[in-house]
Structure formats: C-alpha cells, structure tokens
C-alpha cells in the first residue's frame, strides 16, 4: 500500500547517503544482520473492530507503545529489505537496498553504521582502504559519518518511523474485517484502495502487517517490548583517518 512507499523512501535515502559518504571518504566492511525478533504478542481474545475505526485504532496503539520490530520487503525504485528493532532511544538492524547491505545502530543521539562488502563495492572504495574499517562501527559524530545521523533519524527513531508509516493510516478508508491469524495472534484483515492491513483483533489493536501486491509487505512484531542496545566497545569503533 502507499504507506510502504514511505518506508522504502526513508531506507533508500539512508542507503544513498551512505554510498555518498563512502565515495567521499574512507570506508569499512560487513556486519551480520540482526536476528529477527519473535512475532508480536497481542490480546488472545478475539474482538470486533469497525472498519471505519481501523486506521485510527492502529495509529493510537502505535502512539501508546514504545517499541516495535519491523521486517519487510518493499519494491519502490528497487528492492528494499528492512529488519529493524526500534526502541524509545535506541535501535538496531539491517537495511538491504538492491543487495547493498548496511548494518545500523542507534544509541541515544549517536548513530553507527558498518560498511558491508556490497556497500564498499557500490561506493567504489578500494579494497586496501576498505580493510581499514573491517568489522568497525563508524559513528555519526566522525568525519566519515558526518550527515549520516540526519538520514538515519528518519527510520531509527521509533516515533518518527511510526508517525510516517502507521500514523498516516489514520486517514485511510478501510473495509472488511475478516478474521484471521498472524503468527498465531488472532487478527482482522482490512482492505483499502492501497492494499491490506492485518490488525490484532484484541486491544491494543496493533498493526501486524501491511501488504500491497505491487509494493511488497511490511510486518510489525514485538510491540511495546524494548530491547537493550549497547554502544559498541572502543575497540569495535573505527579510529583511523577521518574518525
């Protein structure tokens, strides 16, 4: 649905910013993607939800929560895979744009990224330079990471991300409300002109999935279950030229 395009644009812009960063400075290597979190838990008891209130219900539920795990594949000017754990003041995960992998971290107001082999290749960074940053995190406060924080803020901040995606469902007109399950959770499926939204049947009515046959699918789980994200150790942070 159209809300998927927002997530894709956010992620695409961030990856583009990293590629530009790599082209203008030194860069590093890959990190493994964050392991997917378990599906969201919701009230086990099925409940009815009027289609006319579905959009506002999921928007309100997102406002009341503090964390979510977002996973999905979106086709919007290319293929974007997201796997992000968003907490009140931290985040972690991986973005893959057309095969270009970017592991990311956020701790407070500081953002980190690792240059994967695919990003190094896309940015045209010589292997001899890429080796300097192998398995090192690059912070947004470094010369190399300058400007990356602003790009990351759009998708590594829980409130900003949910406002730009789920929050906009508040104005969407839905129909239907067929009973189903999502990862074992009783749910309801609503339809709009943009696609479908699968919503937890019980309160709070968390959004569990949005899907558009043309754009892709985005899944939301582990609502209101913050995880601990720690700042990388000094030895894991790049400290060479441009740090």
**How many domains is the chain built from?**
1
| Pairwise CA distance, residues 92 & 228, whole Å | 10
Full domain range(s) for residue 93: 2-227
**Would 72 be classed as within a structural domain?**
yes
- Residues in the chain with pLDDT < 50? 1-2, 5-6, 8-9, 22-46
**Would 237 be classed as within a structural domain?**
no
- Distance set, CA 241 to CA 63, 68, 166 (Å): 42, 36, 41
Indicate which CATH number applies to the domain containing 99.
Answer: 2.50.20.20
- Residue identified by tokens 């740090």 is 243
| CB atoms near residue 204 (< 10 Å) | 17
Alpha helices by DSSP H, listed for the chain, are 2-24, 51-64, 117-123, 127-130, 148-156, 158-164
Q: What pLDDT was estimated at residue 6?
A: 47
In the chain the first and final C-alpha atoms are separated, in Å, by 40
Q: What pLDDT was estimated at residue 30?
A: 30
Is the pTM of the predicted complex or chain greater than 0.85? no
**Would 100 be classed as within a structural domain?**
yes
**Would 236 be classed as within a structural domain?**
no
**Would 22 be classed as within a structural domain?**
yes
**Would 14 be classed as within a structural domain?**
yes
**Would 232 be classed as within a structural domain?**
no
> Would you say how long the chain is, in residues?
243
Q: What pLDDT was estimated at residue 42?
A: 43
Q: Each residue of 82-100: pLDDT tens digit?
A: 899 999 999 999 988 888 8
Q: What pLDDT was estimated at residue 156?
A: 92
Q: What pLDDT was estimated at residue 228?
A: 96
Element (H, E) at 222: none
Q: What pLDDT was estimated at residue 192?
A: 93
**Would 127 be classed as within a structural domain?**
yes
Q: Is the peptide bond before 30 cis (omega within 30 degrees of 0)?
A: no
């Amino acid at each position: 649905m159209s809300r998927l395009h927002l997530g894709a644009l956010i992620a695409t812009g961030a990856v583009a910013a990293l590629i530009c960063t790599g082209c203008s400075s030194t860069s590093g290597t890959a990190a493994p993607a964050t392991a997917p979190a378990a599906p969201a838990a919701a009230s086990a008891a099925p409940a009815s939800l009027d289609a006319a209130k579905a959009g506002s219900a999921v928007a309100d539920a997102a406002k009341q929560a503090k964390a979510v795990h977002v996973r999905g594949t979106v086709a919007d000017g290319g293929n974007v895979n997201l796997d992000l754990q968003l907490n009140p003041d931290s985040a972690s995960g991986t973005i893959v744009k057309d095969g270009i992998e970017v592991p990311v971290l956020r701790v407070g107001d500081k953002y980190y990224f690792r240059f994967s082999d695919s990003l190094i290749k896309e940015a045209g960074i010589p292997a001899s330079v890429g080796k300097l940053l192998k398995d090192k995190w690059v912070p947004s406060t470094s010369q190399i990471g300058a400007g990356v924080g602003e790009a990351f803020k759009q998708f590594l901040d829980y409130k900003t991300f949910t406002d730009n995606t789920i929050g906009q469902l508040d104005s969407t007109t839905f129909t239907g409300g067929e009973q189903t399950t999502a990862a074992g959770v009783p749910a309801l499926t609503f339809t709009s002109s943009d696609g479908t939204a699968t919503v937890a049947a019980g309160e709070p009515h968390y959004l569990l999935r949005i899907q558009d046959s043309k754009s892709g699918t985005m899944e939301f789980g582990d609502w209101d279950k913050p995880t601990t994200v720690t700042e990388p150790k000094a030895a894991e942070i790049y400290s060479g030229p441009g740090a």
